[in-house]
Amino acid sequence: MIIIQPSGGLCNRMRVINSAWELAKKRGERLIVLWYLCPELNCSFESLFQPVKEIRIINIRSLKDPRKLFYQLIARQRFGNDDILKHKTDGILHRSFYESLKNPVYLFTWEHFYPSRDYHFYVPVPSLQRRMDVITASFGKRCVGVHIRRTDNTVSMGKSTTEQFIALMQKELEAFPETRFFLATDDAKEEALLRKTFPGRIISNETRTLSRNSEAGMHDALLDLYCLAATEKLIGSYWSSFTDIAADMRGIEKIIAGADEGKNP
């Protein structure tokens, strides 16, 4: 049995669960996920996604939750994020490490440790899917996703500047004049500037809640993620798992603003 506590925001957790599922399949073991509700993601799994049959997901609201303590107690081995980092290369756990794990094992990490584009676990609840359908219906003949990460990611802000996003968007319009843009950003000033720069071209969830410390905020984050994934191409932020997952979910082309030659780092 593999017990995993994914940490970080929504997309980090999705990648961790994908990795853990690959590990569980390799070892022929059950997977249990401890989904921790906290200020950076204060929403249960079932409020976002439809039920998953293959794995057991347990929502916990405290690090002292008896169920969490129980699984830590019964684990023969416990590993944290630093352990995962030390035992992987190019995003893949070393075979000698994962074969040496003793059943049951407890893992806490925000690192992905197996590349996986299998997102079948993540089917939005019907109420969210209906909202997504309304937005994507307005995409028109060609829609490019734009993800501008601000406020809490200094690495991204320093690398992916507003001017670089605007230049890449103008390049899209020069090549395809019919292009519209679905914008996902955590900065209202950025959105106002892009709407002024590209009048009539910007689509967004205009009533979104930005705080991840709320169910409404997490619903809006998921909506942005899936609408980005529904576009034809993505202009994204440097060093952002949100950008990466949006592109990976459906295998769309990704250009990173500020990265050398427009490629992801």
The answer to the question of residue 63 being in a domain is yes
* CA nearest neighbour of 83 among 69, 98, 70: 98
**pLDDT confidence bin for 116, thresholds 50/70/90:** confident
**pLDDT confidence bin for 156, thresholds 50/70/90:** low
Contacts of residue 118, Cβ cutoff 8 Å, sequence gap at least 6: 18, 21
The answer to the question of residue 117 being in a domain is no
Same domain, 83 and 137: no
Same domain, 49 and 132: no
The answer to the question of residue 225 being in a domain is yes
How large is the average pLDDT for residues 128-149?
97
The answer to the question of residue 18 being in a domain is yes
Same domain, 56 and 159: no
Same domain, 64 and 146: no
Same domain, 92 and 168: no
- Rounded Cα distance between 219 and 43, Å, is 8
pLDDT tens per residue across span 203-242: 999 988 988 999 999 999 999 999 999 999 999 999 899 9
The answer to the question of residue 240 being in a domain is yes
113 pLDDT more than 60: yes
Helix and strand numbers, DSSP H then E, in the chain: 11, 12
Mean per-residue pLDDT of the chain: 93
* pTM of this structure: 0.93
Q: Hey, what are 207's tokens?
A: 């009533």
The answer to the question of residue 136 being in a domain is yes
Domain that holds residue 65: 2-109
The count of structural domains within the chain is: 2
262 pLDDT more than 90: no
